[in-house]
């Protein structure tokens, strides 16, 4: 099984301290990350967070594909800063796309193994996972992505 992190290392990317952002549809705001990705607006939506979710060097972004266990890799972003959002209570991050992964962005799919889902918290130990209103999943950062297989 090929791990996502190994695939990124093969591509010459050093993540340093990173967080995996698992983007899912938000029923409250109506934000649909897959639609926004294909419309070219995903980066703007991802930069707006209700909490300080990206306190790290890089954000590795995946988008959930419908009701499946599959996720689309959409890129790695360097975190260049954060500020309080204007006009709403949240935060706006300055995120810069990591170059050199164009061959994987929007093309690499990952499948979560359902038997591993209960172990997500154990992979990191104490976590800063927070349930987001309107979302069916929890956005968490993990030090490694051992529960994925690559489907390319």
Q: What is the DSSP string of 16-68?
A: -SEEEEEE--BTTTTB-HHHHHHHT-HHHHHHEESS----SSEEEEEEE-TTS
Query: Model confidence over 11-21: pLDDT tens digits?
Result: 888 888 999 89
The upper half-sphere exposure of residue 45, i.e. CA atoms within 13 Å in the direction of its Cβ, equals: 21
Q: Which tops the pLDDT comparison, 42 or 129?
A: 42
Query: Model confidence over 74-90: pLDDT tens digits?
Result: 999 999 999 999 998 89
* Domain total of the chain: 1
Rg, Å, the chain Cα set: 15
Our separate counts of H helices and E strands in the chain read 4, 9
Domain that holds residue 46: 4-151
In this prediction, residue 119 has a pLDDT band, given cuts at 50, 70 and 90, of very low
pTM score over 0.75: no
pLDDT of residue 9: 87
């Amino acid at each position: 099984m090929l791990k996502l992190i190994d695939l990124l290392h093969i591509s010459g990317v050093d993540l340093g301290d990173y967080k995996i952002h698992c983007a899912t549809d938000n029923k409250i705001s109506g934000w649909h990350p897959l639609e926004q990705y294909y419309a070219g607006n995903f980066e703007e939506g991802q930069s707006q967070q209700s909490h300080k979710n990206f306190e790290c060097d890089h954000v590795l972004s995946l988008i959930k594909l419908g009701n499946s266990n599959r996720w689309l890799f959409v890129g790695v972003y360097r975190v260049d800063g954060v500020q309080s959002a204007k006009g709403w209570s949240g935060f706006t991050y300055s995120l810069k796309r990591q170059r050199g992964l164009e061959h994987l962005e929007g093309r690499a799919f990952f499948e979560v193994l359902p038997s591993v889902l209960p172990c997500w918290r154990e992979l990191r130990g104490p976590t800063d996972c927070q349930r987001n209103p309107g979302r069916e999943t929890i956005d968490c950062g993990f030090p490694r992505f051992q529960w994925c297989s690559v489907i390319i």
